[in-house]
Chain A
């Protein structure tokens, strides 16, 4: 039946939680919870990176997948979070947890500065402006003293929780797992709400959305800022895990990788985006054996996906 589609979940339609999504989800969660007990340090490290990408891709999915805005500089907000938290702990002795709200506020301000003027224009402009913004943030980080210049910022404090200091890779694995779950919960809650629906209306038909009473600029700006805030929180935790950050972690390549994760798995829908994020983190590791052929194999794999699954590996049926 071609007309029967998965309803975009609304808060009042819990029956639409499909078992085909819930069961694999629970299995994946169980596996994620016990993974560090069985895996060695290397695997846990890679899995932690995968969780970081899950958070970043879910955040960018709000911008690209829900609101349909092409953001080519998303890593800039990741950088804003990482540097805000890093500078405040390393140079001003802030408690790590207090830096999170500050980073979120900084991301909001940056989001408004970039988004408010550009989101009024046609969406192509946003791609160009965000691309420039991504580079500007990286170049500023390279050239300021407070950010440590090109060599980066070192000596970032490790967070403490209830007297327990997060030190080992396992600790950060669980911290990122909590953040990823929290982000998924936030995305699910919002996508089933009034503002979430407004993003979809704007994405599918901007004029019809405006004609039915939706302020398209506000809707887009809210999506853009929400994506920014999520990336900034990921940045805080990333800085704490690495204890040292440099501008090279926040390049255009990083933005593209996050975007790739969103597109690869299936833009718009949470399970697809999580899958894409995990693939983006795993692919370089899996292909280590390919040696110098790695870029070639990656490119062929991507081309194959674009040809055979143009809507992603696990697509949103709405597309």
Chain B
């Protein structure tokens, strides 16, 4: 069974239908992409998957467990992490504190044990910090651990968002336009990093991306959206030559 199963997902805002009966799946251990013109509903789909939007109908399951309509923090705890299209870091906090946030749902000590300075609580704090440092190291920004997150370069902020999401030890990570605003060099590094996420940690990746070169290079499967509908779903070669995809892109993209 696929890791992520989306069945007949529907979403609308007032009269505006944003997603029409979307069905697709992501296999465990895959790198898949979601593409489509601006406004096609890609981010909205991510928001449904992560519990930020409540779909009007349909179902979502992660590893066989239904997650439709659960609140975001429950979904993260069940193993689905995300990054945001417009970076959403805790800018005024340090890089390390940002990465530590991912560990919140994997730890349990509360106010009382902090006040009493229980040894178990201290050990857990050490572990949270160590895990966060490991992920900062993984994405290559551990040297900035004690800097203010908002002061990082744009590329490093994207890396930090990745580290933060990975620190929640997800099974599936959703990346919303991770290459947006990066230069060619940084894009190459990103391709390499995304491959390492899958190969070294076994985390499944689903990404939204506009850079076709990057998408074709990385993905085993591509899902294409246009006006809230899925118009294609398959391996890169098949999608590239699909007449509906060509039409959607030639017709509407800049």
Contact = CB atoms under 8 A, between A and B. Distances in A.
B133 to A, nearest CB: 11
Interface string B107-148: 101110011010001101110110000000000000000111
Contacts of A216: 73
Contacts of B168: 212-213
Nearest to A191: B114
A146 interface: no
A211 B98 CA distance: 13
Interface residues of B, number: 47
Contact of B147 (A4, A189, A204): A4
Given A186-B115, A200-B90, A212 B124 contact: no
A83 interface: no
Contact of A226 (B51, B76, B111, B125): B111
B71 A201 contact: no
A194 interface: yes
Contacts of A3: 147-148, 151
A292 interface: no
A190 interface: yes
A204 B125 contact: no
Contacts of A197: 97, 100-101, 104
A205 B90 contact: yes
B166 to A, nearest CB: 11
Nearest to A225: B111
A198 B97 CA distance: 10
B4 interface: no
A198 B104 contact: yes
B130 to A, nearest CB: 9
B147 A214 contact: no
A319 B90 CA distance: 11
A26 interface: no
A201 B101 contact: yes
Nearest to B121: A193
Interface string A174-188: 000000000000100
Nearest to B124: A194
A205 B73 CA distance: 14
A8 B148 CA distance: 10
Contact of B114 (A2, A5, A194, A209): A194
A10 B97 contact: yes
A210 B73 contact: yes
A188 B93 CA distance: 17
B111 A212 contact: no
Given A3-B151, A212-B102, A201 B110 contact: no
B84 interface: yes
A222 B109 CA distance: 13
24 contacts: A3-B147, A3-B148, A5-B94, A5-B148, A8-B93, A10-B125, A10-B129, A11-B122, A189-B114, A190-B111, A194-B110, A195-B111, A200-B90, A201-B93, A205-B88, A207-B88, A208-B89, A210-B73, A212-B104, A213-B72, A213-B76, A213-B102, A213-B106, A214-B101
